[in-house]
Structure formats: C-alpha cells, structure tokens
Amino acid sequence: MNVVIIGPAYPLRGGLATYNERLARAFREAGDEVRIVTFSLQYPDFLFPGQTQFSTEPGPADLAIEVSLNSVNPLSWVAVGRKLRRERPDLVIFRFWLPFMGPALGTVARLVRGNGHTRVVAITDNVIPHEKRPGDGPLTRYFLSACDGFVTMSRSVLDDLRGLGFGRKPSLYRPHPLYDNFGPIKPKAEALAALGLPDTTGYLLFFGFIRAYKGLDILLEAFADERLARLPIKLIIAGEFYEDAAPYEELIKRYQLENRIVRATDFIPNEKVVDYFCAADLIMQPYKNATQSGVSQIAYHFERPMLVTDVGGLAELIPDGVVGYVVPPTPAAIADAVVDFYANQREENFAAGVREQKKQFSWPVMVSALKEVAQLKLR
C-alpha cells in the first residue's frame, strides 16, 4: 500500500512529530511504501507560545519527509492537494489536533479525494479542543466532513465525533501506542546521575509542555500538603512553558516550594527523555481536561507508575490500583495518593502492573486500524 501521512514531522519538534515519524516506521515495517508531508510553516510566530517550533537535533535519515504545507497559505494547500490527487496514493492519513488546522487540512483532503481512488483517514487527537476559541466548530467540521473515516485514541473523542454528527462515518477507537523510540530503560541510579540529581531523595515527574489544562497549578498546591513536605521527595518539572510562568512561580513562592522543586523548563530533547522518566518514582498527570496523553505511553515504555486525574480519556488506559492512581483533579486527592504511594511502598507492584499492561499498546494494531477504517463504508 502507498501511504502518505500529513502532519508535523522533522524539522518540526514535539510529540506530534515524534508520533508521526514512529507511525511511518510502523507502516514501513508492515511492508508499505510511506512518506510524510509536513509543514513549512505550522503556526505563525504570534500563535506559537514556545521558544521555537524547530528541532535542533539531526533529522531522521530513514524517513522520506516532504516539507511543503503552509498552514496559512491557501496556495500551498492547493498545490499539495493537487499533487497528491495526481499521485493517487492508496491512503492519506491526516493528523488532526487543532481547529486552526481545519482549513488547510480540509482543503487538501477534498482535493485528494477528487481522484476517486485515495482514501482519507484522520487520526483525531481532539475534535473539541482543550482551549476553546471562537470559530472552532465550523473549522473542525470543515475538516471532518472531508474525511472518509477516523481513528481515535480515546473513547471520549469517539463520542465527541458522534456528538458532532459524524457517527455514520467509519470510525474506530484504538489506544495510543507506546512511545518506544526514546531508547531502552536505564537503571534509576544511572538516570539520576545523568541528570546530576542525588539519589538521597525520591522524585515525582511532571513532563511535557506546560499549559493551563495540564494542571501543574493543582500539582503544586498538592505538593504544599504538609504530609508531602515531611517526605524526602522532590518534584521535577520537565518541559517548556507554553504560557506565562509567573502564576506558577507565585505558587512556588507562596508555598515555599523552591527547595523541593527541580526545574528543567526548556524543551527536553529526545535523548534526555529516558533520564527524566527513569529517574522518577511516579509520573504525575494532574490534568484538568484531556483526551489521551502521550506522556502515559512514554511512562508505559519506561515501566514507570503513574498518577492521572479522572478526566476525559486519561483513565481509560490507567487501571487504578494496578499501574498507579486515578484520582479527582484536586490537590487533596493527589496528595493522598502520593502519601499512599510512599507509605505503602507501591513502586515495585505498580511497575509490575505497568509491565503487564503495556503489552496491549502496539504500533501494528494502530496500522491495522487505519487500514481497516479506510476499507469500511458509510453506515
């Protein structure tokens, strides 16, 4: 099968790019011909909250990546769409995560489908965004209406698709596969040494871009709990701020957390991901809303226990009491779980649960789902 993936990839950086590149390798391992079409401009600078959109690491030499789609230039949408229409790939997979991308991706999809041969399937991270803006609904519907089918990575997104009126189109839920491309597991002592952290204390990890919906403020308030203050633990905050850091710094100052926080608030390069996860006792995801999280799948790969909040689709993949905790998004509930984790020495039991549960999250399953949806017909 001739497959084209359209979405972020090198030279862009971040979780979406990492996912798309790993998906391309999975198609290739299945015997398919695959390439990625990515953005020459993903976001205008004034819409991008981070330091840079571009990777400073070497590009993946094993992948065919075409940098040609400009999210705000309709001429590029038409050029990419017409080119793919002529080339007639069997399957085009769009990665859809933000209504802003609806016009560009929806236009390309419509043009591609005009050849009467290519099937268009979307991996929909979200169809109702975490941070809502005027116009989200029409932009999202413009894209969704151009697709033949969908694969979602949480059941809540599948429900959202149906709620938006797209329930008749072929759609499947398959969980987010493991992020197994960050290298093998390291011993904790080796990971701590690589980060320059002493092994005389335990560590909780908050990882990833910092945005309001991810609940770092809730976690900081939980960390101020006097029971946690008596424990020999620190909180590692590893990820770039995608919004104003001042409110978080104010919480750290108010609760006198400075000496109990490890800051790593720049972009974390791929080769350092292993160190942060393998150094941690418990991976913290105190989200206020969510559909699915790539952080969980990195934690599964590195066999680390997790704490997630019971919002959106997060809890679907985290059996409570088996691989970690599912708790309400409140400081008290999070603090209670952390106290239980250390008081009852849960790490080894939860890690064993993670090792068993991780077997279900495979890239061949995702590849098969995308191919299956492409063959299904409108209900």
Domains recognised in the chain with CATH numbers: 2-177+362-375 (3.40.50.11930), 188-359 (3.40.50.2000)
Q: Mind listing the pLDDT tens digit for each residue in 254-277?
A: 999 999 999 998 888 889 999 999
pLDDT at position 358 is: 93
Q: What is the mean pLDDT of the chain?
A: 92
pLDDT, mean of residues 343-360? 95
Helix orientation angle between 294-301 and 270-279, rounded to the nearest 10 degrees: 70
What SS3 class is residue 140?
Answer: helix
pLDDT at position 19 is: 94
pLDDT at position 52 is: 62
**288 vs 215: CA distance, rounded Å:** 6
> Is pLDDT larger for residue 98 or for residue 342?
342
pLDDT at position 69 is: 97
**170 vs 338: CA distance, rounded Å:** 42
User: 146 falls in which pLDDT band (50, 70, 90)?
Assistant: very high
pLDDT at position 48 is: 56
- Which H/E stretch holds residue 274? helix 270-279
Nearest residue to 123 via CA among 377, 376, 374: 374
Judge residue 238's burial from the number of C-beta atoms within 10 Å of its C-beta, 0-12 exposed, 13-18 middle, 19 or more buried: buried
